[in-house]
Amino acid sequence: MGLPPFRNEPYLDWNDQENVKRVRAALEKVGGELGRSYPLIIGGKEVETEGEIVSVNPARPQQVVGRVARATEREASLALDAATRAFADWSRTAPEARARILLRAAAIMRRRKAEMIAWEIYEGGKPWPEADAQVSEAIDFLEYYAREMLRLKEGAEVHSVAGEESRYFYQPMGVGVIIAPWNFPTAILTGMSSAAIVTGNTIVMKPSEFTSVIGAKVAEIFFEAGLPEGVLNFCAGYGSEIGDYLVSDPRTRFISFTGSMRTGLRINELAAKPNGQKWIKRVIAEMGGKDAMIIDDSADLEAASSDIVRSAYGYAGQKCSAASRAIVHADVYDEVLRRVVEKARALRVGAPDGPEVFVGPLISEPQFEKVSGYIEVGREEGERVLGEDPGDPKDGYFVTPTVYAGVDPKARIAQEEIFGPVLAFIKARDFEDALAIANDSPYGLTGGLYSNDREHLERARHEFHVGNLYFNRHITGALVGVQPFGGFGLSGTDSKAGGPDYLQQHMLPKTVVERF
């Protein structure tokens, strides 16, 4: 297929008033569609359920964004059946044909970009630039994985001995269960689903209960792109109600999960138990982080402070890659702290009604309660130099940027994932100490080093134990095909979404040798 080379979808320029107008118009149009109901889609058929998920706008919790059917084990079973039936045909469909459906989905998403951004704003509480980045990333996954499948379709080169032909190629696996989080509801759901589908598998797609309307929209785009019935089964529901069932069921061949460490470890454990299936289930899990930025005494302190703020407070810190620990050399600690507090104080907080808002609401009341709890814990563990006590969640799930200074590396707010706009400042004696503090975490997702010292940079390159390490820049917003993304340790199964090794995890490599 003669495709142009992959390039990332460009972000919208908010100085261009046309873009602002387009998104405002989309917000108005989508505003007229709020509160609608969405069924499950199983085997190409709409399926209603007794229960429903009521999804609300986190900036205005009284506003219902939509009502989505809520699968029980009964519907989950129907979805696994439909996916099992569809596998026979889909797995034999030519890789080019599968890739074309992704390319078509990318084109549809591009055409519906403003609308998808609007859904992100309403249901995800995303500031405009974050919502745009989300939809762009989803388009990138579709474009990138389509090309990756074309690259991998012939398999890989192996040697043949004289008189024989050795072939090494990839086969689809079977039925995949896709379980997504709420924080990147368009991008991660699209990425995990498209990787599983383009490699010839069929899927049961379970979006997060907090962003199920966006899940329904993503599924709709795949169907509009021409995905045959049963290849994708939209199965919204609560993880606590259908998660264990989907993971344990013997029809499930693999699970692709992104979410918290707790859920990921449970999935890994349940998937390992034999339950009548004739395979060892594969688990691809992307989990949490407690990401650190080290600032040494040779760093550009102004740039470092700006990038700490950007990394800590973008999407209110609700990114697995968000900086939640600033580990700063003692000699520059006070200066960096002063600058970070000053910059973070200036951030615009509020409902994402325009492109200038930087910190929106947290996603949900449980998340608001969790982060509020950590703000209380922080009082015992550090000095709050920025931040206010959270208000009434009825007015939106807002928490303002918060900085705790003088935090011990072993404190709970320095060890546990908070997933909110809360940053712990930790003083390090020297670079050695800083690196040891950074690595003293069960997680290993992203990390950053600000330094002008070549020796420090080279040491960190090998000894800072994270899957995504960034020097002299922010540590969030990984781009597909440019910064393949995924963590070490208890941050996941060491894979890299949006990278050259990702699709292979959804396939079985096979060796066939013929003697002539």
Cα–Cα distance, 191 to 497 (Å, whole number): 8
Cα–Cα distance, 100 to 90 (Å, whole number): 14
Residues identified as active-site: 286, 320
User: Which tokens belong to 20?
Assistant: 């602002």
Q: Does 492 bind ligand NAD (CB under 6 A)?
A: yes
Q: Which residues, numbered 3-42, are part of the site for ligand NAD (CB under 6 A)?
A: none
Which one among 136, 183, 199, 305 touches ligand NAD, defined by CB under 6 A? Answer: 183
Q: Does 258 bind ligand NAD (CB under 6 A)?
A: yes
> How many residues make contact with ligand NAD (CB under 6 A)?
33
Task: Specify the stretch interacting with ligand NAD by CB under 6 A; choose among 20-28, 255-263, 296-304, 424-432.
Answer: 255-263
Cα–Cα distance, 315 to 310 (Å, whole number): 9
Q: Does 170 bind ligand NAD (CB under 6 A)?
A: no
Task: Specify the stretch interacting with ligand NAD by CB under 6 A; choose among 81-89, 127-135, 183-191, 427-435.
Answer: 183-191
Shortest gap between Cβ of 455 and ligand NAD (angstroms)? 30
Which one among 53, 105, 287, 312 touches ligand NAD, defined by CB under 6 A? Answer: 287
Q: Which residues, numbered 212-241, are part of the site for ligand NAD (CB under 6 A)?
A: 239-240
Q: Which of 253, 246, 156, 150 is nearest to 199 (CA)?
A: 150
Contact 311, 401 (CB under 8 A): no
Which one among 180, 304, 341, 435 touches ligand NAD, defined by CB under 6 A? Answer: 180
Residue 165 burial (10 A CB sphere; 0-12, 13-18, 19+): exposed
Q: Which of 285, 242, 321, 294 is nearest to 426 (CA)?
A: 294
Shortest gap between Cβ of 383 and ligand NAD (angstroms)? 26
Q: Which of 309, 259, 315 is nearest to 126 (CA)?
A: 315
Which one among 66, 172, 200, 289 touches ligand NAD, defined by CB under 6 A? Answer: 289
Q: Quick one: 214 or 301, whose CB is closer to ligand NAD?
A: 214
Q: CA 80, 224, 218 angle in degrees (round to 5)? A: 65
Contact 229, 43 (CB under 8 A): yes
Which one among 124, 172, 176, 288 touches ligand NAD, defined by CB under 6 A? Answer: 288
Q: Which residues, numbered 389-428, are part of the site for ligand NAD (CB under 6 A)?
A: 417, 419
Q: Quick one: 31 or 442, whose CB is closer to ligand NAD?
A: 442
Per-position x/- string for 470-489, each x denoting binding to ligand NAD as judged by CB under 6 A, each - no binding? ----------------xx--
Q: Which of 403, 452, 405, 414 is nearest to 431 (CA)?
A: 452
Q: Does 140 bind ligand NAD (CB under 6 A)?
A: no
Residues 10, 11, 16, 20, CA torsion sign: positive
Q: Does 494 bind ligand NAD (CB under 6 A)?
A: no
Q: At what angle do helices 212-224 and 95-111 cross, to 10 degrees?
A: 120
Distances (CA, A) of 218 to 10, 11, 203: 20, 20, 14
Cα–Cα distance, 237 to 70 (Å, whole number): 5
Shortest gap between Cβ of 32 and ligand NAD (angstroms)? 28
Shortest gap between Cβ of 336 and ligand NAD (angstroms)? 25
Give one word for 230, left, alpha or beta, with left for phi > 0 and alpha for psi -120 to 50.
left
Shortest gap between Cβ of 54 and ligand NAD (angstroms)? 15
- Interacting residue ranges for ligand NAD, rule: CB under 6 A: 179-184, 188, 206, 208-209, 239-240, 243-244, 247, 258-260, 263, 266-267, 286-289, 320, 417, 419, 445, 486-487, 491-492
